[in-house]
C-alpha cells in the first residue's frame, strides 16, 4: 500500500502578499467585494490599541479599497476573549482611515 503524504501547511498571506498575488487588476475591482481585516490573534493579543489601529490603517492603504467594496471585519471567527477595546479600535480606525462612497 502506498504511503499517504502529509497534509501541506497552510499559511495565511500578509496584506501586502494578498494585494500583490490575489487582487485583480484595478479596473476589475468594481465587481469584487472583499471581506477581511486584522487577524484574530492580533485582535486577541495586541498589547496596545494603537497596534490594532496601525494594522487597520495598513490594510486599508494596501489597495483593497480600490474597488470601493470592502467589508472590514475580524479576520475569522472571533473568540470570546477578545478585548472590547481592540474591537472598538478596529472600527474607529476604519472610520479614521477609510473612505466611503
Could you report the per-residue pLDDT of 26-66, keeping only the tens digit for each? 565 566 777 788 888 899 999 999 999 999 999 888 877 77
Residues 12 and 49: beta-carbon distance below 8 Å: no
* Residues spanned by the domain of 77: 30-97
Inside any domain, residue 88: yes
- The answer as to whether 39 is a domain residue is yes
Q: Output DSSP code: residue 35.
A: E
What pTM does this model have?
0.66
Q: Would you give the DSSP letter of residue 80?
A: T
- The reply to whether 74 falls in a domain is yes
Domain presence at residue 52:
yes
Does residue 21 belong to any structural domain of this protein?
Answer: no
Give the total number of structural domains in the chain. 1
pLDDT at 10: 44
Q: Does residue 16 lie in a domain region? A: no
Amino acid at each position: 500500500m502506498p504511503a499517504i503524504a502529509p497534509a501541506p501547511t497552510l499559511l495565511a498571506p500578509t496584506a501586502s502578499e494578498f494585494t500583490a498575488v490575489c487582487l485583480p487588476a484595478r479596473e476589475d475591482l468594481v465587481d469584487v467585494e472583499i471581506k477581511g481585516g486584522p487577524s484574530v490573534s492580533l485582535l486577541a493579543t495586541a498589547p496596545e490599541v494603537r497596534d490594532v489601529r496601525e494594522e487597520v490603517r495598513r490594510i486599508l492603504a494596501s489597495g483593497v479599497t480600490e474597488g470601493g467594496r470592502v467589508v472590514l471585519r475580524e479576520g475569522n471567527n472571533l473568540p470570546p476573549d477578545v478585548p472590547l477595546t481592540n474591537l472598538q479600535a478596529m472600527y474607529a480606525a476604519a472610520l479614521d482611515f477609510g473612505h466611503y462612497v
